[in-house]
Amino acid sequence: MNRPTTEAEIQARKAEALKLIKRKSMYSSVAAIVPIPGLDVTTDMKLMSDIVNDINELFGLSHKDVQKLPDSLKKKVLIMATSAGSEFIGRRVTKTIIGIFFRSTAKKQVAKQSKYIPFIGQAVAGGISYYMMKKMGEDHIEKCVNVSRRLIS
């Protein structure tokens, strides 16, 4: 997908990305509710990778898209990505995503332990999983929006 060239396009893609995040966060929530050991972790890892790649694609910031840019613009994207703290752009699963995942592990452990209380525990596990996935996605969207804004100015 091409990079957005106006603020209106950036906002439209942001809205589309937020819908994507809500849908994928719901998948994460459902996986956390199902009491199969390891299902939530493997599902979350796959969803995180998909979310980052899908958002990058929406904003025209996938590795493939960046490689097609002229050298001067490619350099600008790389500098902005670094200064914006967006280690995600152009990569699949990075140390940052893994860091976010493991930081959320403590919260997920609380949810897993509470799974022993049948219905309440499952609701808590699903809620925490939904929130963490949504937060990670929203943070990545903001980084992509900031890079896109800098590219059009």
Can you give the C-alpha Rg of the chain in angstroms? 17
- The string of pLDDT tens digits covering residues 87-129 is 444 443 344 445 555 555 656 665 666 555 566 777 788 888 8
Q: Are 128 and 25 in contact (CB under 8 A)?
A: no
Distances (CA, A) of 129 to 5, 53, 85, 104, 152: 34, 20, 24, 9, 35
- Is the full-model pTM beyond 0.85? no
Burial of 123 per CB tally in 10 Å (0-12, 13-18, 19+): middle
Which has more confidence, 8 or 94?
Answer: 8
- The string of pLDDT tens digits covering residues 68-79 is 767 777 666 666
Residue 61 pLDDT > 50:
yes
Q: Looking at residues 24-33, what average pLDDT do you find?
A: 91
